[in-house]
Amino acid sequence: MFKDILLVGIGSFAGGSLRMVVSKYLQLCVAGSFPLGTMVVNVLGCFLIGIVSSLSGSESSISPAVRLLLATGFCGGFTTFSTFMNENVMLMKDGDDFSTSVLYLFASLFLGFVAVLAGRQLVLAFR
């Protein structure tokens, strides 16, 4: 168990550090407030976790330890959005119908947005 935690921690450190560098650099290249850096990191993270999850359990399989390091650690540290999107794909892949995946997608986006607004309002109420 400690080895797994260490693998995820190392991957998270690398992914989170790279997220900051890529996001900050790309944001400097864009005029205005559009969060291009975050969008690129999220899409790139989705691409990477798609590769890693496809290599898991295939003929060119990667070990569970490498999967923890790359998918849970690196991609999770790089962006949790990639994990969120991969879970949507897995819902469909595991035999659940498309509507379950769509429900998870929109419920997560809506509830996450509402939760951010609620958190902000809570802080503003006590200032």
CA distance 39 to 103: 22
Query: Torsions phi, psi of 115, nearest 5?
Result: -65, -40
pLDDT reading at 8 higher than 90: yes
pLDDT at 97 over 80: no
Rounded-to-integer distance, Cα 49 and Cα 83, Å? 7
Residue 117: per-residue pLDDT: 92
Q: What is the pLDDT of residue 9?
A: 97
- Is 37 one of the annotated binding-site residues? no
Residues 6+ apart with CB under 8 A from 26: 36, 37, 40
Band (pLDDT 50/70/90 cuts) for residue 70 is very high
Q: Is 100 annotated as a binding residue?
A: no
Q: How much is the pTM?
A: 0.74
